[in-house]
Amino acid sequence: MPQIYAAKYLARAAAGVPRDMANAAIARFKPIHPTVLIYHCTFVCDARCEMCSNWKRGDRKSDMSLEEIEHTFDSPFWKYIENANVSGGEPTTRNDLVDICRVMLDRLPRLRKFGLNTTGLTPHRAIPMLTDIVKLCDERGIIFSFRVSIDGVEEMHNDVRNVPRGFEKAGETIRAMQALQKQYTFNFGISTTIFSQNLGDADNILNWARSEDLDIVFNMVRFTDTMLSNLDLADTCKPVGEEEEQMRQFFLDRVRIDPLLDGQNYIYMHYADMIANGYHRQAPCPFQTQGIMLNPDGGMFFCENSDVVGNVRDQDPGEIYFSDKSQAQRDHVINNECPSCLSPCQMNVSAIKQVVPYAKFLVRASREKRKYQQVTAAAESAVNP
């Protein structure tokens, strides 16, 4: 199944290369419609994570209703979206999540890939909802990709998420989704946010994921109020000193050891580089010219480092997006926030849309692999002359 998914995604990506190249060229001279969307449908969450404070601002009363969501996506502004992701908070806390996804799938005519992030901590809700969304995407021929968050093995996960039996509950959702993959083609795995508390468990998480035949993505903790509401947690959650170097080596080892064309290696090299160079970003980002984010209350912003530029409850999203005031905020973000941004959001999309940086990464990754293989071979020869 993973091979089928990868083949479908690469085929869709290849078909869109001419349009991607044209968009990238045009965007250098004038604003273009976004092709990438992340919609945080709620900040209500069933976890109380140590490295995220979104759950503290969860307020169901302020979330857009299904009717408001339908009205929002009725705008022709969204017709160029190719990659969309639903996040939170925890999306499955919304009773109407399946209907929200149906609205997006039906109103995004150019959609290539649809994604979702979940804690998986409430399996009796999550499993039926996720199953229905898998079916919706299958019926429409849309590539679907989603992950369950796992931030440690057994008690480490429970401690990070502050949920008793959280690892067990998430495991129930994971096993159900693995079983569903035998019936439908979709991409599924787990994701882990690495920070000071669980850094020492990173290898355990990796080994557990491999033992369970689970694809895994590691994310480096980052701090932003617009998206994660966690700027105040930087002092307690950010690895520093020896821990920071340990994290850099962990990400660099993924590049050296994992398959060259593993899509996550592009992100891991980005992390390792930024730790080594004092957090100067070199990787491209689709949100600079082609991305948009939407908060539960209708607030629209360009990326996790952007201020909210308007509210779709009050104004058409196209009018907000293309206004001089909004574009000035985007310029501010590009000039002042992008140079040190850690965000991996849709970086794999940027690899497709901006081929040259990805080609350079492949050259560097190949070099790292050769060096690692030479060192390993030399060590083995010393032990077994």
Looking from the CA of 232 toward its CB, the CA atoms found within 13 Å total 4
**pLDDT above 90 for 374:** no
- Show the tokens assigned to 109: 């005519």
Structure tokens given for 260: 């060259």
The residues with which 143 forms a beta bridge, in sequence order, are: 113
pLDDT for the residue numbered 226: 82
In angstroms, the CA 23 to CA 14 distance is 15
**Please, which contacts does 55-60 make with residues 24 or more away whose CB atoms are closer than 8 Å?**
55/89, 56/229, 57/229, 58/89
Which residues lie across from 294 on neighbouring strands?
Answer: 39, 300
State yes or no: cis peptide before 89, omega within 30 of 0: yes
- Output the CA torsion sign for 53, 56, 62, 64: positive
CATH of region 2-238+284-353, choose from 3.20.20, 2.40.10, 1.10.760, 3.30.360: 3.20.20
Q: How far is CA 339 from the centre of its chain?
A: 19
> In a 3-state reduction of DSSP, which class is residue 371?
helix
As a whole number, mean pLDDT of residues 157-168 equals 98
pLDDT band at residue 6 using 50, 70 and 90 as cut-offs: very low
What are the backbone angles phi and psi of residue 291, rounded to the nearest 5°?
Answer: -120, 155
- Using DSSP, state whether 314 is helix, strand or coil: coil
> What's the predicted TM-score (pTM) here?
0.89
Chain centroid offset of residue 284 CA: 15
Q: What is the pLDDT of residues 221-268, one digit of tens each?
A: 999 888 888 999 999 999 999 999 999 999 999 999 888 777 788 889
Provide the pLDDT confidence category of residue 137 given band limits of 50, 70 and 90.
very high
**How confident is the prediction for the chain on average, in pLDDT?**
90
Percentage helix, strand, coil for the chain under 3-state DSSP, each rounded to 5:
55, 10, 35
58 band by pLDDT with thresholds 50, 70 and 90: very high
336-to-136, 160, 280, 328, 341 alpha-carbon distances in Å: 40, 32, 12, 12, 10
Domain ranges of the chain: 2-238+284-353
How big is the chain, counted in residues?
A: 385
Average pLDDT over residues 193-214: 97
